[in-house]
Structure 1
């Protein structure tokens, strides 16, 4: 396989994952950075020990031609994804984009139209698919371990370190991120789509800003939620030292005005084929983890993952998740399929995803690779849920597909 030339656009924290992998891969080469902040590009070069040239967003298209880019990795704020994805496709590049693929109907329409017209590929980095215990769930369901799935219960807890972080950063404005139902829950909606092998049909949602924000913060000690950027060499270099260039404040007060996203959300989704998902996300839990259960015609499958037992402070602490996966068929005792510690990086998913993305591993037999259609299906649940929050009614996914210009 030929070595493919890559560029990364958006040099925040998330770009580290891809940059490290690219500079060590035998089948990929990192040849360009693009960001509006010179400090962040310089910091990445310092960490990598490289001299990769940096470009401003205004020079993005010229960069693709000059550096002969084959693949663009998009790590910019969510609301800008569509602009970079479309420009890269039209320049003849393939694209790897952080989730979500985009944040709105118009962005989805533009990306899908550009992909059809150019024939280039779009990959969305749903790394949770590659987590070994999630792969085992897919194997069991596909193998009929509990028969036909009738319903799914999925509860995700973000603690007061991780959850609060979405209210310190640009994500706090729904215009930037699409809210947690698009930005964060997209991972979870994708997992359910992948596990069931079917996308969403009808969506209803309820949610509110209950814990964070200025209306809820009166009398609360906001400093308990503040990151100490000075205490972390990486955060200080990447954000504190870069503030003077663009004015971006990484550590905003979670109780300050300007929060337009929800922190407590419930969603009902009827999937094609009839299975119903009952989903809950809340972003102010004292501990972090998630639980998903599938009820089927022949039994029940349950996955319980505990990522930490309490949030020690505002700074996220390294943690190793512990998972327990059980299957119980009707009239039989439960069987523990897995009970142990998961790997680092989304349960070990990051490493596996990167190896496949960069061509250093064969494609996963379970179809972990997420293309533009998977990105769209996960996005549709989030967009429909947001519309349901606005209108108070169930939303048909067919309605959104019509606006995007895709067949139902």
Structure 2
């Protein structure tokens, strides 16, 4: 039986109740409860669905919502009549729920990356063009005050026309290793780090420079993690997953799910429903994504990017340099690392060290002050959530990311993956037809 809509509130359902989902629904039912209503959860896993409902009630004081298995997605839309579907599933299934939600008359908010390959991306573009509905991509990095400040500096012609960017992203042995324990370790699920993680970084360059990628060349491989690298790391005895393994107790890369109540409820207790193991060994079999990557990108405005990502370093954060016709900007951000969906993280993306230095062509260097707000990513997360769930506001920096922004960010990584396979540079133009209708 379908529910009647409360016209005073926008109705939301969420599909994919894993670790990233809570970021959205906890704020939806607390900070935005006056204008928003959560009316349903959907997942492949019944145990995880029940746990999400438990969190809603016991942690956030919200009512229990109807629960639907993934094969009941259409039924959920027909019954609950949502205005918006929030998609936080495994990356490889984003396109399925995005497209079906659009076809059933809903707008969509999706976690990044929008999808994992060019074919799925084209299907999403076709569905948007055919239905006329909207897709928003949750790029929280755009809203971090230091990243917004960089865009402001470039928009204001501080260093003139930007000719080149050097961007180095460091993932540490806590956060970086986590991608090699989880479903992300299979490129079919995540598109590899060039798509799953680097989509943030490639989007930032598009956002900062106001341009889009034209040509991409990539190199790299699995150099640190994986069974093939275990011996060089001093690993001679193997386990496939940490739970129940004596070997894992002495492994600094292992995660013990049973020692964290949240992780235990979200994953270990839910294994009986779908068999997913959240705590696989980073030196086990089955890893086919890269941990060491270098990318060169030429943009439509003729700027060039040199980019690197390494997933096993002693600190986490990034160093970016912009070279322009009137000078240079140097950025260094050291982030507090965390384990996704649990652990002891107090403030996801908290900043431990930050500096933005402008070096004018014929002037003295100076530091740029940045005002940090409350909440994750230096106060960026609350700004993103307000943009997603509150009334639209004017934004001179145009941080809201559409399906086109989502596509242009992943196309850099998708082209990078193609280049890894062929050893050749890949032209981004032609991968997607943004005008086509299915």
Q: CA deviation at 1:364?
A: 2.8
Q: CA deviation at 1:233?
A: 1.5
Q: Is 1:385 the equivalent of 2:416?
A: yes
Take 1:124 and 1:289, find their aligned partners in 2: how far apart are those partners?
Answer: 22
Counterpart in the other structure of 2:197: 184
Does the CA-based 8 Å contact 1:11-1:35 persist in structure 2? Answer: yes
Q: CA deviation at 1:277?
A: 0.5
User: Which 10-residue stretch deviates more, 223-232 or 13-22?
Assistant: 223-232
Q: Is 1:139 the equivalent of 2:152?
A: yes
Take 2:425 and 2:346, find their aligned partners in 1: how far apart are those partners?
Answer: 39
Q: Is 1:35 the equivalent of 2:43?
A: yes
Take 1:145 and 1:154, find their aligned partners in 2: how far apart are those partners?
Answer: 19
Does the CA-based 8 Å contact 1:158-1:284 persist in structure 2? Answer: yes
Counterpart in the other structure of 1:244: 272
Counterpart in the other structure of 1:12: 18
Q: List per-residue Cα deviations over 1:16-69 (Å, max 9, x = no partner).
A: 011111112121110000011111111112112131111011110111011011
Give the aligned CA root-mean-square deviation in angstroms. 2.1
Q: 1:53 to 1:127 in 2, by over 3 A?
A: same
Take 2:427 and 2:113, find their aligned partners in 1: how far apart are those partners?
Answer: 20
Q: CA deviation at 1:323?
A: 1.1
Q: List per-residue Cα deviations over 1:51-96 (Å, max 9, x = no partner).
A: 1111011110111011011100000000000000000000000000
Q: 1:84 to 1:398 in 2, by over 3 A?
A: same
Q: 1:205 to 1:323 in 2, by over 3 A?
A: same
Counterpart in the other structure of 2:390: 359
Does the CA-based 8 Å contact 1:171-1:179 persist in structure 2? Answer: yes
Q: Is 1:87 the equivalent of 2:100?
A: yes
Does the CA-based 8 Å contact 1:159-1:287 persist in structure 2? Answer: yes
Q: Is 1:196 the equivalent of 2:209?
A: yes
Q: CA deviation at 1:379?
A: 1.0
Q: Which runs of 5+ in 2 are unaligned?
A: 1-6, 58-62, 236-246
Q: Secondary structure at the match of 2:65?
A: coil
Does the CA-based 8 Å contact 2:165-2:323 persist in structure 1? Answer: yes
- Pairing 1:183-332 to 2, within 5 Å after superposition: 183-218=196-231, 219-220=234-235, 223-308=251-336, 317-318=345-346, 320-321=350-351, 322-332=353-363
Question: How many residues end up aligned between the 2 structures?
Answer: 404
1:105 to 112, 118, 124: 118
Q: TM-score, with normalisation over the residues of structure 2?
A: 0.88
Q: Which runs of 5+ in 1 are unaligned?
A: none
Q: List per-residue Cα deviations over 1:105-163 (Å, max 9, x = no partner).
A: 11111111111111000000001000011111101101100000000000000000000
Take 1:341 and 1:230, find their aligned partners in 2: how far apart are those partners?
Answer: 36
Take 1:344 and 1:264, find their aligned partners in 2: how far apart are those partners?
Answer: 31
Counterpart in the other structure of 1:336: 367
Q: CA deviation at 1:362?
A: 2.2
Take 2:421 and 2:358, find their aligned partners in 1: how far apart are those partners?
Answer: 38
Q: CA deviation at 1:333?
A: 1.5
Q: Is 1:23 the equivalent of 2:29?
A: yes
Q: Is 1:69 the equivalent of 2:82?
A: yes
User: Which 10-residue stretch deviates more, 50-59 or 179-188?
Assistant: 50-59
Does the CA-based 8 Å contact 2:145-2:372 persist in structure 1? Answer: no
Q: List per-residue Cα deviations over 1:376-407 (Å, max 9, x = no partner).
A: 100110011000000000100114136x8769
